[in-house]
Amino acid sequence: MFYYLNGTVAEILPYLAVIDCGGVGYACRTTNTTLASLKKGKPGKLYTYLNVGEDIFELYGFATQNELNSFKLLLGVSGVGPKAALSILSAGTPESLAMAIVTGDEKTLTAAQGVGKKIAQRIILELKDKMSNETAASLDFSGGKGASAPAVFSNKATDAAQALAVLGYSSQEVSQALRGIDMENLPLEEIIRQSLKKMVKG
């Protein structure tokens, strides 16, 4: 129903931003990360998700598509609702979420308010299952069709590719995003961060 809202930031409250679009104020539940990027009285753009159910009609908004994608991904995990998803994304970033899933880092997830060990384990287990086993094998860094990642980069390439697959990107998108990144010297989280930036610009 809504793809994004683009207007003036009318109000900023805990986990809530109000965007004035043509005289109508849309209240969007959101993360601390998104709130930190907004300023009251200034222009603001939020990518939205509409949660509709019995007696529920709630709008969620995020400063980036990566954050929105991560939110929707978390909602797909059994037992994870909007409140927990917002808490996780308020405590970290899409990159740190993806890396926590790939590395099985429960502590990063339980650092979020209201997220216990069982929920963290379920998030890691269920989202790992969504990874494509062929993602890393089909990476193409050279521009040639079917080329694979150099052996020296294979471990980081695999982890980065799996992390990006967790966030919903295709093998082709992952290949293009990882091409040209210095995987030998950069830490995994920075590789993921740079890849996400390239995909957003693309």
Q: What pLDDT is stored for residue 202 in this prediction?
A: 54
Question: Per-residue pLDDT for 47 more than 80?
Answer: yes
Least confident segment among 42-56, 61-75, 170-184: 170-184
Instruction: Identify the bridge partners of residue 5 per DSSP, sorted by sequence position.
Output: 46
**Residues above pLDDT 70, as percent of the chain:** 86
25 dihedral zone (left: phi>0; alpha: psi -120 to 50; beta): beta
- What does the alpha-carbon distance between residue 68 and residue 85 come to, in Å, rounded to a whole number? 10
Lowest-confidence segment of 24-38, 129-143, 168-182 by average pLDDT? 129-143
Q: Which residue has the higher pLDDT, 97 or 46?
A: 46
Q: Which residues contact 106 (CB under 8 A, 6 or more apart)?
A: 100, 117, 120, 121, 124
- Please give the Cα distance from 4 to 9 (Å, whole number): 14
pTM beyond cutoff 0.85: no
Residue 134 has pLDDT above 60, yes or no: no
Give the pLDDT band of residue 131 (cuts 50, 70, 90). low
* pLDDT score recorded for residue 154: 58
Nearest to 177 by CA among 149, 148, 197: 197
Model confidence band, residue 54 (pLDDT cutoffs 50, 70, 90): confident
Identify which has the larger pLDDT, 171 or 81: 81
Beta bridge partners of 48: 61
Task: State the pLDDT at residue 146.
Answer: 39
pLDDT at 183 over 90: no
Q: How confident is the model over 63-93, as pLDDT tens digits?
A: 998 899 899 999 999 999 999 999 999 998 8
Report the pLDDT averaged over residues 33-46.
96
